[in-house]
Amino acid sequence: MSTKTSLSLGESLNISQVSNLHQRLAISLGKCSTIELKADKVRIADSAGLQLILSLKKEVDTCGGKISWKNPSPPLLDAARILGLFEDLGLHN
């Protein structure tokens, strides 16, 4: 049975938040569920933060779960486009 977990990314999806976010994501990963990323408040996103999300997405895809985005902010979308990760992160929906 699949469960759904919602996770707020907060205002900063960058290297200063990666360790904390990684711990929170690891808990969600244990459930191999659908993970909804609430991204409406993200004001800063960098390659470290987006790489962490990409890694999560790959793990979730492998175990049959799914990543969904809820209201990704313009700064997050811009960073993903600049880094060439827009499609890989599933932001094309």
Give the pLDDT of residue 69: 94
Write down the pTM of the prediction.
0.85
Q: At what angle do helices 47-62 and 18-29 cross, to 10 degrees?
A: 10
pLDDT means over runs of 10, the chain (93 residues): 78 87 73 83 95 89 88 97 96 76
Give the pLDDT of residue 1: 46
Quick check: is 88 in a domain?
no
Give the pLDDT of residue 75: 97
What CATH code is carried by the domain that includes residue 66? 3.30.750.24
* Residue ranges making up the domain that contains 42: 4-82
Q: What Å distances lie between residue 1 and 6, 29, 37, 62, 89, CA to CA? A: 17, 14, 20, 16, 24
Quick check: is 89 in a domain?
no
Give the pLDDT of residue 81: 97
